[in-house]
Amino acid sequence: MVLQTIWFFLWGLLWALFFMTDGFDLGIGTLYPFLGKTDQDKRIMINALGPLWDGNEVWLITAGGVTFAAFPLVYSVMFSSLYSALMLILFALILRGVSFEFRGKVDHPRWRKIWDTCIFVGSFVPALLFGVAFANIFQGIPIDHNGIYHGTLFTLLNPYGLLGGILFVLLFMIHGALWISIKSEGDLQERAASTANKLWPVLLGVMVIFLIASKFSTHLFDNYIEHPAFFIVILITVLALLSVRFFLVRKTFFKAWFASALTIVGTTFFGVIGLFPNLFPSSLNPRYSLTAYNASSSPLTLKIMLVVVTIFIPLIIGYQIWAYNLFKGKVTQADLAHDEAY
């Protein structure tokens, strides 16, 4: 029981870390056609995430891998039920990843245009669909007692699901705009900051609507009502979102970005705590839901995996902080002139 509970929250943490890190990459890609007016702007944007996106994306692989290792039944039912949505995400991420690498390799406007489009599509689609998928998980998925999904891709595109999608896109866009504000100067920085400023009230509005809609469309609040102490997570998330604005108007972009990171982690945990112990609730019948208790691996596997992540996750966080620190500061002309720059 204890092991399964630990793993439930580790599972949530890994997804939260993925949204927090790759979230700004996806946000930058979504803002790319709007903020990147000149080729120079575009190059600054992709070089701002250049050294980091690959390491960020591995949080997704790890979140997926840990779902497989700790909750094989959830992995199998979740990914086969959300088949079309997940495949769209994967194709999009393939396009995004190679676009960074390919874009600068041939000096021709049409070549660059193709990869510019792929960067946008490859970032916007995953941002939206991750939101749609998680909102649907919060709400419950039509799976039967054999874990067979009764629905299509369009079943997921219900109002609450789409609301979740919009929420994620906005969270990531602000997160990305703040990263660009940190990494750029002059006109681009101003436009990025002003975009974050303009999107902020929209995000606040959507966040409030999402919380209210969660009351009616999901059972997430049941856990909060039972253990009111958990309301602190919602409180912290809201405070983090308010501090994004606070730091943004003061132009302390790194603090604003950090607050935005906390908002994303908080939003994910709002859902994860509300779900507990469900990992993949069934909307057909609560008895069909996959939980931390009925879908986990054997205690031996959970223990081995716990040892592995206790050693390696802090190590990974350590060397990722080192890498972020190595590449702190603005993207300069010299950075762009460098052979391997994107």
Partner 1 sequence: MDVVLLSRLQFATATMFHFLFVPFTLGLSFLVAYMETRYVKTGDETYLRMTKFWGKLFLINFAIGVVTGITLEFQFGTNWSRYSAYVGDIFGSLLAIEATTSFFLESTLIGVWIFGWKKLSKKAHAAVMWLIAVASTFSAVWILIANAWMQNPVGYTIRDGRAELVDFAAVLFQKYAIFKFIHTVSAAYVLSAFFVMGVSAYHLLKKQNIDFFTRSFKTALGFGIIFSFVVVIMGDINGVIIAEKQPTKLAAMESLWETTTRAPVYLFALPDEENERNKIEIGAMPGMLSFLVRHDINAEIRGLKAFPKEERPPVLITSFAFKGMVGLGFYFILAAILGWWKRNRLVDSPKYLKLMLLSIPLPYMACELGWIVAEVGRQPWIVYGLMKTSDAVSPIATSQVLTTLIGFVLVYGLLGVTGFYLIAKNALKSPELATDN
Is residue 53 near partner 1 by the rule CB under 8 A? Answer: yes
Residue type for position 34: F
Cα-based torsion angle of the residue sequence 277, 283, 288, 293 in order, rounded to the nearest 10 degrees: -10
Residue 232: DSSP 8-state:
H
Name the segment binding partner 1 (CB under 8 A); options: 26-34, 65-73, 223-231, 251-259: 65-73
Among 34, 39, 40, 90, binds partner 1 (CB under 8 A): 90
Least gap, CB of 93 to partner 1 (angstroms)? 6
Q: Is 279 in the site for partner 1 (CB under 8 A)?
A: no
Q: Which of residues 50 and 266 has its CB atom nearest to partner 1 in the complex?
A: 50
Rule CB under 8 A: is residue 9 a binding residue for partner 1? no
Q: What angle do CA 273, 59, 149 make, to 5 degrees?
A: 60
CA-CA distance, 33 to 225, in Å (whole number)? 43
293 binds partner 1 (CB under 8 A): no
Cβ distance to partner 1 smaller for residue 179 or 247: 179
CB of 277 to partner 1, least distance (A): 19
Rule CB under 8 A: say whether 292 interacts with partner 1. Answer: no
Residue 37 as a binder of partner 1 (CB under 8 A): the answer is: no
Q: Which residues contact 61 (CB under 8 A, 6 or more apart)?
A: none
Q: Is 94 in the site for partner 1 (CB under 8 A)?
A: yes
**Does 77 engage in binding with partner 1 (CB under 8 A)?**
yes
DSSP class of residue 148 equals -
Side-chain half-sphere exposure of 62, counting CA atoms within 13 A = 25
Is the peptide bond prior to 277 cis by the omega test (within 30 degrees of 0)?
Answer: yes
Q: How far is C-alpha 157 from the geometric centre of its chain's CA atoms?
A: 18
Give the residue with the Cβ less far from partner 1, 116 or 335: 335
Any idea how long the chain is? 342
Closer residue to partner 1 (CB): 58 or 284: 58
Is residue 201 packed enough to be buried (19+ CB in 10 Å), middle (13-18) or exposed (0-12)? exposed
* Cα 336 from Cα 43, distance rounded (Å): 7
- What is the phi/psi pair of residue 227, to 5°? -125, 85
Considering only 5, 40, 87, 208, the residue that binds partner 1 (CB under 8 A) is 87
The DSSP output letter for 329 is S
> Minimal distance in Å, beta carbon 322 to partner 1?
9
Q: Does 341 bind partner 1 (CB under 8 A)?
A: yes
Please provide residue 141's backbone torsions phi and psi, each rounded to the nearest 5 degrees.
-115, 140
The phi and psi torsions of 290 (rounded to 5 degrees) equal: -95, 125
- The answer to whether 61 contacts partner 1 (rule: CB under 8 A) is yes
Which of 229/334 has CB closer to partner 1? 334
Among 9, 79, 224, 246, binds partner 1 (CB under 8 A): 79
Least gap, CB of 288 to partner 1 (angstroms): 14
Report the interface residues with partner 1, using CB under 8 A: 47, 50-55, 57-58, 60-62, 64-70, 72-73, 75-80, 83-84, 86-87, 90-91, 93-95, 97-98, 100-102, 105-106, 146-149, 297-298, 300-301, 304-305, 308-309, 312-313, 316, 319-320, 323, 326-327, 334-335, 337-341
